[in-house]
Amino acid sequence: MRHIPVIVVAGTHSGCGKTTLASGLMAALATRGLAVQPFKVGPDFIDPTHHSAICGRTSRNLDPFMMGEAGVRETFVRACAGADIAVVEGVMGLYDGLEGTDVASTAHVAKILDAPVLLVVDAGGASRSVHAMVRGYAGFDPDVRVAGAIFNRIGSSRHLAMIKETESLPIYGGIPRREDLAVESRHLGLAMAAETGAMAGFGAVAEEACDIDGIIDLARSAPPLPPPAEAMARPGAGVRIGVANDAAFCFYYADNLDHLAGAGAELVFFSPMADRLPGVDALYLGGGYPELHAEALSSSRCREDVRRAVDAGMPVYAECGGLVYLTERLATGEGDYPMVGALPAATEMTGRIQALGYVEARVVGAAPVLAPGSAFRGHEFHYSHLDCAPDARFALELLRGRGIDGGRDGLTAHNAVGQYTHAYFPEGFAETLVRAAGAYRRS
């Protein structure tokens, strides 16, 4: 058994300040010299980039729907190797889960880890009334240990004193209203960490306004967790998988990259905007913001390199933004840009969300990078729409989710597949891509 001090930072609802508080807490702990392992509940790609930048350790997603409860525990324990403390940022409100249940909620993850919860409450416009909310959250599910509260948007010292007149749970701090500390948002969420360093500025605020020593003691109250199963050593497969990694393609689950490396692949990171296609045996094109960099992508010689590689039969697996890149054209509000042209579809950015939610997918068509008959889970979130050719072929049937076209996803051509679904790789998923890369290498 391994004892890992851990605190789950949860919110009463979206927008209450939990991202601000979680990031500030991570920064304050790191400034004290602690090795902080960050996590994010749910499928979000953006908040983890801020966590990673603050902590200097890769933030991991914890999502029971995609990973299963055992997968959450395994990822948590593995990622905490060498860490002094773990901070888990929740998602939405504490009890908000899949379709009105607690599945994949912050509460669900807290129960899996048996971790204490620090509840972030927006106290703007209220004083004593906040305790009615705190008591409701603390008593709603007796299996969730809501152990303390932090109040956000405190207007003054007098405001905080009024709140402290009544104490429903231990109070670990009051965050003053700070309009100068904010992170820019856009259609898929906050700006990425590489674009702003604002989150790191929350550390000094948290140190000043919160009982950091008390929070550390609270984190130490989490019970030990069993160690993960020993990973089997696998010989190198001798294949190189190119991974698009720049401002246009930056949405990857860290576990997926680990699975590919664990299956024996050498990962070669490159920028489709700035680099030529490196010498690789397969491609993994993740999601991101190709619409914000369409001109650079269309003018880069890498676009033609990728098209020739697809035509030559290279296995290519692409998700969301990567799917858009593989289509023929991308229409944005700024213009109409040629893309790779490997998949028979044109993409148009729209002014509203086209799909948002969890996905359950089953492989029903031929695609070397997807094992026939296999199934996996993931998430979709996009503002674009694909106009596919009449003879377009799809490799995925969605049991949950929208995909490209009414429950169909995984547009295929040659040995390439592009899908809106951001998959969390299940057992065997990475191995299939690695085998496809090996077959291409030998051909």
Which residues are the active-site residues?
320
Cα–Cα distance, 172 to 238 (Å, whole number): 52
Among 267, 270, 266, CA closest to 248: 270
**What's the burial of 274, exposed, middle or buried (CB within 10 Å: 0-12/13-18/19+)?**
exposed
CA dihedral over 203, 208, 214, 217, signed as positive or negative: positive
Residues 6+ apart with CB under 8 A from 406: none
Please give the radius of gyration of the chain, using alpha carbons only, rounded to the nearest integer: 23
> Which stretches of 255-383 are assigned E, i.e. beta strand?
265-270, 282-285, 287-288, 316-319, 329-332, 335-338, 345-349, 355-363, 375-382
Cβ atoms of residues 153 and 124 within 8 Å? yes
Q: How far apart are CA 415 and CA 398, in angstroms?
A: 21
Pick the closest to residue 199 from 75, 51, 318 (CA basis). 51
Do the beta carbons of residue 425 and residue 256 sit within 8 Å?
Answer: yes
Tell me the CA end-to-end span of the chain in Å, nearest whole number.
47
The token pair that represents 228 in the structure block? 């993960």
The helix (H) or strand (E) run that includes residue 298 is: helix 294-299
Any idea of the CA torsion for 255, 61, 253, 433, to the nearest 10 degrees?
A: 40
Tell me how far apart the alpha carbons of residues 120 and 438 are, in angstroms, rounded to a whole number: 49
Three-state SS string over 278-296 comes to CCCCEEEECEECHHHHHHH
Length of the chain: 443
**CA pseudo-torsion sign 69, 258, 320, 412:** negative
